[in-house]
Amino acid sequence: MNPVLPLAALGLVDAAFSGFRAYAGRDARIRKHRAVLRASLRGLAVGAVLLLAPALTAGAVLLLAEDTDRAYGVLADGGTGFLVPIGAYALAVGLSLAAYFALPYRASTLSMVVGLGPLTLARPLVVAGACAGALVAGGGWTSLLVGVVAGAAVLCVEPYVHRRWYAFPV
């Protein structure tokens, strides 16, 4: 299995949520659906550009490799190792969001406080675990390099969007 498409999809969804988080709490207006959508699209656009960095890194690894088939296999193994912690994290976030939307008001608020709050704070640890997963899954140092570049790209979306568009209250 090639993990590129699931990793790209998860990275882009995370970028959209990062754009939302960069905007959340900055605007006192009641109706702000368009602003939330615009913030999410900004995060998605920045994430799409930043996620080119790990793709270019993987491409450079393949270009510099003596045996490209072996290097591709190693990168695919590392990508699978990177995907496992990220996929588990995405599943936990999805369950928390489902609880938030499906449960009554108090229970949904509790699910937000217990689930999404700590999960947001744990993002850097999950990315570090994913990098370790890329190394442990047989990806070697080249997969670790691509994983670190991907992790840095994912973690940079929210600060960039915040500083670029939301440094001051709306």
Instruction: Read off the DSSP letter of residue 48.
Output: H
Give 93-99 contacts, CB < 8 A, sequence gap 24+.
Answer: 93/119
pLDDT in tens, 58-106: 999 999 999 999 999 999 999 999 999 999 999 999 999 999 999 999 9
One-character DSSP codes across 82-108: HHHHHHHHHHHHHHHHHHHHHS-HHHH
The mean-pLDDT minimum among 4-8, 21-25, 132-136 falls in 21-25
pLDDT of 141 reads: 94
pLDDT of 170 reads: 62
Helices (H), 24-65: 33-50, 52-64
Average pLDDT across the chain, whole number: 93
More confident residue, 112 or 131: 131
pLDDT of 52 reads: 96
How many CA atoms does the CB half-sphere of 144 hold within 13 Å? 9
pLDDT in tens, 18-42: 999 999 888 778 888 999 999 999 9
